Amino acid sequence: MPSDLKSSDINSKTDPSVARQYDDETPKNQQIKQFFEMVDGKKICMLNTYRNGVGPVGRSMALARRDGPDFLFLANAHSQKFSDLSENKECQISFQDTKTQDWISISGTATTTDNSDPRIKEVWSRGAAAWFGDLGDGTHTGGPEDPRMTLIEVKSKYVTYYLTEVGILGYAKEVVAANVTGGVANTGKLRELKEEDLEKARGMK
């Protein structure tokens, strides 16, 4: 049921619309495991970089592979995200499930590779080739040896995610009840994983 509002709750640290959502009770190992499960069910995300003179710039990307809390993407070396990352390696990945209202936000540091990285052959697929095309010169074929075919690897530094614990009807009930009572809708758990948690997660699958 919605959390009740009290005057003593209203400050930047205890406002129930913020503070009470955070899950400090679930063991971190379980939080990490559920983070992995949520990501593994979502293949498309937004990868956001920072472009000088513009600000944050996002684009849809297919996730090539998750390695613990870190992420690999196949990408065209000629795309603007590489020039963005050459200036600022800080980036963000975000996933959202519009059916459940679950979402994940990952802040991290990106490194880029060239076509010699052996992991390209491990994650390449015909589906990926469709986004490169065959230029007909025998070199730029869209295959794993195409020099345009490179990797972006994002090492996570901070993760926050929302795990919805009610179905569609329960979600609607919470929102309606909150509007009627003046309480705060309680539909799930907001969790955060910090650098020490993510270092621990690198030893998990």
Dihedral sign from CA coordinates of 138, 140, 143, 145: positive
Residue 149: which H helix or E strand, with range? Answer: strand 149-164
Distance (Å, whole) CA 198 – CA 138: 42
* Inside any domain, residue 2: no
pLDDT at 17 (0 to 100):
60
> Does the pLDDT at position 174 exceed 50?
no
Among 63-77, 141-155, 185-199, whose mean pLDDT is lowest? 185-199
Residue 142 belongs to a domain: yes
Place of tokens 């794993």: 144
**Strand pairing class (44-51; 55-62):** antiparallel
The secondary structure element, H or E, covering residue 47 is strand 44-51
The more confidently predicted of residues 167 and 23 is: 23
35 band by pLDDT with thresholds 50, 70 and 90:
very high
How many domains does one find in the chain? 1
pLDDT at 4 over 60: no
**Statement: residue 176 has pLDDT above 70:** no
User: Rounded distance, CA 67 to CA 72, Å?
Assistant: 8
- What average pLDDT does the segment 13-28 reach? 73
Mean pLDDT of the chain: 86
pTM above 0.85, yes or no: no
pLDDT of 52: 93
Instruction: Identify which has the larger pLDDT, 75 or 1.
Output: 75
Query: Which residue range forms the structural domain that includes residue 189?
Result: 7-201
Q: What percent of the chain has pLDDT over 70?
A: 78
**Structure confidence by residue, pLDDT tens digits, 92-109:** 999 999 888 899 999 999
Q: Note whether residue 1 is domain-resident.
A: no
Q: What is the mean pLDDT of residues 56-70?
A: 96
Q: Cβ distance 85 to 91 under 8 Å?
A: yes
User: Looking at residue 23, what DSSP letter applies?
Assistant: -
CATH number at residue 138: 2.30.110.10
Span 36-49, mean pLDDT? 95
Q: Is residue 85 part of a domain?
A: yes
- 117, part of any domain: yes
Torsion sign, CA atoms 36, 41, 160, 61? positive
pLDDT for the residue 147: 97
Report pLDDT for 22. 80
Establish if 38 belongs to a structural domain.
yes
Is 138 within the bounds of a domain? yes
pLDDT tens for each residue of 105-131: 999 999 999 999 999 999 999 999 999
